[in-house]
């Protein structure tokens, strides 16, 4: 009956509309002090700073191109903002105090509103007092759903954080330590997944899992090995790769702020267990992150259709006609040396009234200075930026407001073309990145080892 069919269609449309509303209507986020069971149940809880009382923060699931609003009410006793890491949004929504907005004072509120143009794995975190607030727990996943499900059997999210805890599980104070800041930053000793000490991750034989990894640590890099399993990189920093690939040597490297979406095929046998280890810091620094624990359920019969993620509408750079710039990272402590090498190429040290700058970014007009743009890109042009790391340290360099193509590393063209918002510069690396400067505003460009950024490894790129 025609009338019945129309009624059904209307009902379905209404249901769909309300599903979208539920996902993308206003979300309330309240950062405030809280207690969190970092070390698991039965252990003393840890005083943290948290969004809506939980660590990691609430998982926000958004729809591509649908307006999203977040009402942020500051329940902390200090200023804060929210930064939507990796989202190509209007400058005024970017959450950088004194650059894109006034910081949100204690008790005050701010409403963010934007439509995310890209589907994928993103995250949010504060951008004021970032080391302390993020280091005490404030970070959450922001997932922008594809319009159609991509064909995985299950979606699994790991928000990775690390903590430096005292025996009573309180967080060690001091997020502004110069010694840590001039070296690798604060690398906590306890690594958690989704806010608690990892417990075995249940798996069913045969299933195809989308494992979304978010590194929300202040400074810890990771290189994950999934024993007995082959993993395939599907997306980096939310952006699908054009050709999915197995990571080199079976190690999934993920720097602070980066995300990796993996296809994890549960090829193990029912009842078996496999370790996931983090081997970034070599033999001595390796540890078991968690176990993959197969249930005894028989193998799931699932589709064998290849899984692909639809590309996002990130514009292709025009490499025939780019605006070129060169930025050089300088400073830091010298590895294996004392204070003598601390100034590297910088030759500047604050007096007692100004913060110590132990890192810097050098453009053609000299060193970065606070929030003063280091250069201006003409709106709409392709920017090709060469980044050189003269220091002895690793830096995950992040550009706000954009996703950029990583063209080459040390002159070698990227084997697997990829788009990122945070790119690793190893000691002495030179990396070429390119993007179409189509998003006007003042955009931060900084190292995501937060202490590096706090001690000077940050600048602003203006697009106008
Ligand atoms: Cu997640 Cu300014 O960064
Ligand atoms: Cu960002
Ligand atoms: Cu750095």
State whether residue 414 is helix, strand or coil: strand
Distance (angstroms) between ligand 2 centre and the Cα of 127 equals: 9
DSSP calls for 219-251: S--EEEEETT--EEEEEETTEEEEEEEPPGGGE
Over range 403-429, report the average pLDDT: 97
The residues, ordered by sequence, that sit 6+ positions from 337 with a Cβ below 8 Å of its Cβ are: none
Separation between Cα atoms, residue 185 and residue 182, nearest integer Å: 7
Separation between Cα atoms, residue 93 and residue 409, nearest integer Å: 32
Over range 181-188, report the average pLDDT: 94
Put the strands of the sheet holding 441-447 in their side by side order: 373-377, 458-463, 441-447, 395-399, 422-425
Separation between Cα atoms, residue 411 and residue 425, nearest integer Å: 13
Q: What percent of the chain has pLDDT over 70?
A: 90
- The predicted structure's pLDDT at residue 15: 40
Residue 383 has pLDDT above 80, yes or no: yes
Ligand 1 atom index nearest CA of 125: 1
In the predicted model, what is the mean pLDDT of the chain?
Answer: 91
Residue 340 has pLDDT above 50, yes or no: no
In this structure, which residue's CA is closest to atom 1 in ligand 1? 85
The residues, ordered by sequence, that sit 6+ positions from 174 with a Cβ below 8 Å of its Cβ are: none
Ligand 1 contact, 398 CB (< 6 A): yes
Separation between Cα atoms, residue 95 and residue 18, nearest integer Å: 28
Separation between Cα atoms, residue 312 and residue 306, nearest integer Å: 19
The tokens 């003269």 sit on which residue? 390
Long-range contact list for 285-290, CB < 8 A, 24+ apart?
A: 287/191, 289/191, 289/193, 289/198, 289/224, 290/193, 290/198, 290/199, 290/200, 290/201
Paired tokens of 25: 């209507």
Separation between Cα atoms, residue 337 and residue 332, nearest integer Å: 11
Residue 11 has pLDDT above 90, yes or no: no
Separation between Cα atoms, residue 361 and residue 342, nearest integer Å: 15
Over range 103-118, report the average pLDDT: 98
Over range 189-218, report the average pLDDT: 97
Neighbours of ion ligand 2 (CB under 5 A): 85, 400
Distance (angstroms) between ligand 1 centre and the Cα of 238 equals: 15
**For residue range 32-67, what is the model confidence (pLDDT) as tens digits?**
999 999 999 899 999 999 999 999 999 999 999 999
Distance (angstroms) between ligand 1 centre and the Cα of 464 equals: 21
Paired tokens of 226: 């999934």
Which ligand is in closest contact with the Cα of 259? 1
Paired tokens of 183: 């070296």
Ligand 1 contact, 83 CB (< 6 A): yes
Residue 334 has pLDDT above 80, yes or no: no
Indicate the pLDDT class of residue 440, thresholds 50, 70 and 90. Answer: very high
Which of the 8 DSSP states describes residue 198?
-
Indicate the pLDDT class of residue 303, thresholds 50, 70 and 90. Answer: confident
Over range 265-294, report the average pLDDT: 96
Indicate the pLDDT class of residue 25, thresholds 50, 70 and 90. Answer: confident
Ligand 1 contact, 452 CB (< 6 A): no
Residue 338 has pLDDT above 50, yes or no: no
Ligand 1 atom index nearest CA of 257: 1
- The predicted structure's pLDDT at residue 209: 98
Please give the distance of CA 27 from its chain centroid, rounded to a whole number.
21
In 10 A of CB 210, how many CB atoms?
22
DSSP calls for 269-315: PTT-EEEEEE-TTHHHH-EEEEEEEE-SSPPPP---SPP-PPPP-PP
Q: What percent of the chain has pLDDT over 90?
A: 85
- The predicted structure's pLDDT at residue 304: 85
Which ligand is in closest contact with the Cα of 447? 3
Ligand 1 contact, 400 CB (< 6 A): yes
Please give the distance of CA 129 from its chain centroid, rounded to a whole number.
17
Q: Which residues of 288-324 are buried (b: 16+ CB within 10 A; e: fewer)?
A: ebbbbebeeeeeeeeeeeebebeebebeebeeeebee
Separation between Cα atoms, residue 454 and residue 362, nearest integer Å: 16
Ligand 1 contact, 132 CB (< 6 A): no
State whether residue 135 is helix, strand or coil: helix
Ligand 1 contact, 204 CB (< 6 A): no
Separation between Cα atoms, residue 110 and residue 103, nearest integer Å: 9
- The predicted structure's pLDDT at residue 2: 36
The beta strand positions in 364-440, using DSSP E, are 366-367, 373-377, 382-389, 395-399, 404-409, 412-420, 422-425, 430-436
Neighbours of ion ligand 3 (CB under 5 A): 395, 447, 449, 452
Distance (angstroms) between ligand 3 centre and the Cα of 395 equals: 4
Separation between Cα atoms, residue 311 and residue 119, nearest integer Å: 9
Residue 10 has pLDDT above 80, yes or no: no
Ligand 1 atom index nearest CA of 400: 2
Which of the 8 DSSP states describes residue 360?
E
DSSP calls for 61-90: EEETTS-EEEEEE--SSS-B--EEET----
Residue 73 has pLDDT above 50, yes or no: yes
The tokens 């159609």 sit on which residue? 148
- The predicted structure's pLDDT at residue 456: 95
In this structure, which residue's CA is closest to atom 3 in ligand 1? 85
Separation between Cα atoms, residue 448 and residue 458, nearest integer Å: 9
Least confident of 22-26, 114-118, 185-189: 22-26
Ligand 1 atom index nearest CA of 444: 2
Residue 235 has pLDDT above 70, yes or no: yes
Over range 293-305, report the average pLDDT: 93
Residue 396 has pLDDT above 90, yes or no: yes
Separation between Cα atoms, residue 192 and residue 220, nearest integer Å: 12
First vs last C-alpha separation in the chain: 58
Indicate the pLDDT class of residue 1, thresholds 50, 70 and 90. Answer: very low
Please check whether residue 153 is in contact with residue 52, taking contact to mean a CB–CB distance below 8 angstroms: no
- The predicted structure's pLDDT at residue 21: 43
Ligand 1 contact, 220 CB (< 6 A): no
């Amino acid at each position: 009956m025609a009338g019945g069919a129309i009624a059904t269609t209307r009902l379905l449309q209404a249901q769909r509309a309300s599903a979208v509303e539920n996902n993308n209507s206003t979300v309330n986020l309240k950062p405030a002090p809280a207690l969190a069971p970092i070390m698991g149940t039965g252990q003393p809880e840890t005083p943290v700073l948290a969004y809506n009382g939980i660590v990691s923060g609430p998982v926000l699931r958004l729809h591509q191109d649908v307006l999203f609003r977040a009402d942020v009410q500051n329940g902390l006793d200090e200023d804060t903002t929210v930064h939507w890491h990796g989202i190509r949004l209007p400058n005024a929504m970017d959450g950088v105090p004194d650059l894109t907005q006034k910081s949100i004072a204690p008790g005050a509120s701010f409403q963010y509103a934007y439509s995310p143009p890209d589907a994928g794995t993103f995250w949010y975190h504060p951008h004021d007092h970032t080391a302390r607030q993020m280091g005490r727990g404030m970070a959450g996943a922001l997932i922008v759903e594809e319009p159609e499900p991509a064909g995985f059997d299950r979606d699994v999210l790991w928000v990775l954080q690390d903590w430096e805890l005292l025996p009573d599980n309180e967080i060690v104070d001091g997020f502004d330590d110069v010694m840590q800041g001039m070296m690798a930053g604060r690398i906590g000793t306890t690594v958690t997944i989704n806010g608690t000490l990892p417990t075995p991750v249940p798996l069913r034989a045969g299933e195809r899992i989308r494992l979304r990894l978010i590194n929300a640590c202040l400074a810890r890099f990771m290189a994950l090995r999934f024993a007995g399993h082959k993993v395939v990189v599907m997306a980096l920093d939310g952006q699908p790769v054009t050709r999915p690939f197995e990571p080199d040597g079976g190690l999934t490297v993920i720097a602070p702020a980066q995300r990796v979406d993996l296809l994890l095929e549960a090829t193990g046998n029912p009842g078996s267990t496999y370790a996931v280890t983090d081997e970034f810091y070599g033999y001595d620094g390796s540890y078991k992150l968690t176990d993959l624990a197969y249930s005894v359920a028989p193998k799931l019969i699932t589709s064998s259709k290849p899984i692909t993620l639809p590309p996002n509408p990130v514009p292709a750079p025009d490499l025939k006609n780019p605006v070129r710039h060169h930025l050089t990272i300088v400073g830091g402590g010298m590895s294996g040396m004392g204070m003598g090498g601390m100034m590297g190429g910088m030759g500047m040290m604050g007096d007692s009234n100004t913060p110590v700058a132990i890192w810097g970014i050098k453009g053609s007009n000299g060193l970065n200075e606070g929030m003063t743009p280091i250069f201006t890109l003409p709106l709409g042009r392709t920017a090709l930026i060469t980044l050189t790391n003269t220091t002895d340290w690793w830096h995950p360099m992040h550009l706000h407001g954009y996703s950029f193509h990583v063209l080459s590393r040390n002159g070698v063209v990227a084997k697997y073309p990829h788009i990122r918002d945070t790119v690793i510069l190893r000691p002495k690396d030179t990396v070429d990145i390119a993007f179409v400067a189509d998003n006007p505003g003042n955009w931060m460009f900084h190292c995501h080892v937060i202490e590096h950024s706090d001690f000077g490894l940050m600048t602003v790129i203006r697009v106008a």
